[in-house]
């Protein structure tokens, strides 16, 4: 199995999941500007959309969307507890959180990283993100993790996306439960290993 990644972006979430699952894998760094991988390959032949992550589960089978990749990883290592069993009520709760993060938080950050975006528009997007964070804050004030007391792939995804806040001028001190959640997740050995591998921790 091979994960195509760029440091610190959304591909960090499946990277964390792979280490949590204890599955064997290799990493292939992608330059998202040149669309070349570290080995010199044309990344567009792997993922025509050009963005990361992409995950080569086996020769000829490549997944390109983070939530799908993470569920595949979790299902390959069910003993890890990274996802509830398929068909269970909790599995649908997991999918609900994954969809919320990808559509309401992940995509909410995208305009804030565009240099040409007008300041007024960025303010609007920050206000929308704040509303989404308010929703997550209420939940995490009552639970250690999104599914309750156990870490899941949704937590890895939320950890990665909320970590972008400082780069766009969003102060997470407004949401103490999210900050506490981030500390819990970052203390996990697998998270620290993934971050070190991507050069995000010394």
**Averaged pLDDT score across all residues of the chain:** 97
Quick one: average pLDDT of 172-201?
97
* Residue 107: per-residue pLDDT: 96
pTM value is 0.96
Give the pLDDT band of residue 202 (cuts 50, 70, 90).
Answer: confident
Contacts of 91 (CB under 8 A, 6+ apart): 83, 84, 85
Same fold, 2-80+190-197 and 89-188: no
For the record, the structure tokens of 64 come out as 């390109």
**89-188: what fold?**
Glutathione S-transferase Yfyf (Class Pi); Chain A, domain 2 (1.20.1050)
Half-sphere exposure of 108 (CA within 13 A, CB side): 24
**Is the pLDDT at 65 greater than 90, yes or no?**
yes
**Is the pLDDT at 92 greater than 90, yes or no?**
yes
* Residue 48: per-residue pLDDT: 96
Residue 65: DSSP 8-state: -
Q: Could you confirm whether domain 2-80+190-197 is CATH 3.40.30.10?
A: yes
Give dist(CA 87, CA 161) in Å, integer: 27
Give dist(CA 202, CA 194) in Å, integer: 11
Distances (CA, A) of 80 to 21, 22, 30, 31, 74: 5, 8, 28, 31, 7
For the record, the structure tokens of 119 come out as 């300041």
Judged by DSSP in three states, 10 sits in coil
Give dist(CA 155, CA 99) in Å, integer: 13
Give the pLDDT band of residue 23 (cuts 50, 70, 90).
Answer: very high
Q: pLDDT of 132-173, one tens digit each?
A: 999 999 999 999 999 999 999 999 999 999 999 999 999 999
Q: pLDDT of 98-111, one tens digit each?
A: 999 999 999 999 99
Share of the chain above pLDDT 70, in %: 100
Quick one: average pLDDT of 166-187?
97
Of 39, 142, 23, 150, the C-alpha closest to 94 is 150
Half-sphere exposure of 58 (CA within 13 A, CB side): 2
CB contact at 8 A, 109 and 167: no
Domain ranges of the chain: 2-80+190-197, 89-188
> Phi and psi (nearest 5°) for 37?
-90, 170
């Amino acid at each position: 199995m091979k994960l195509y990644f760029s440091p610190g972006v959304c591909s960090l979430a499946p990277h964390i999941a792979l280490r949590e699952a204890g599955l064997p894998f290799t990493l292939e760094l992608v330059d998202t500007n040149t669309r070349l991988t570290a080995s010199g390959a044309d990344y567009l032949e792997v993922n025509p959309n050009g963005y990361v992550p992409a995950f080569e589960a086996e020769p000829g089978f490549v997944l390109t969307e983070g939530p799908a990749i993470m569920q595949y990883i979790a299902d390959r290592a069910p003993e890890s507890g990274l996802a509830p069993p398929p068909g269970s009520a909790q599995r649908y709760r997991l999918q609900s959180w994954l969809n919320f993060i990808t559509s309401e938080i992940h995509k909410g950050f995208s305009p804030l990283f565009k240099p040409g975006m007008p300041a007024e528009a960025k303010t609007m997007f920050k206000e929308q993100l704040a509303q989404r964070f308010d929703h997550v804050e209420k939940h995490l004030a009552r639970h250690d993790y999104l599914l309750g007391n156990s870490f899941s792939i949704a937590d890895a995804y939320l950890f990665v996306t909320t970590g972008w806040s400082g780069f766009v001028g969003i102060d997470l001190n407004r949401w103490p439960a999210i900050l506490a959640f981030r500390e819990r997740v970052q203390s996990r050995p697998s998270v620290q290993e993934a971050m070190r591998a991507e050069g995000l921790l010394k």
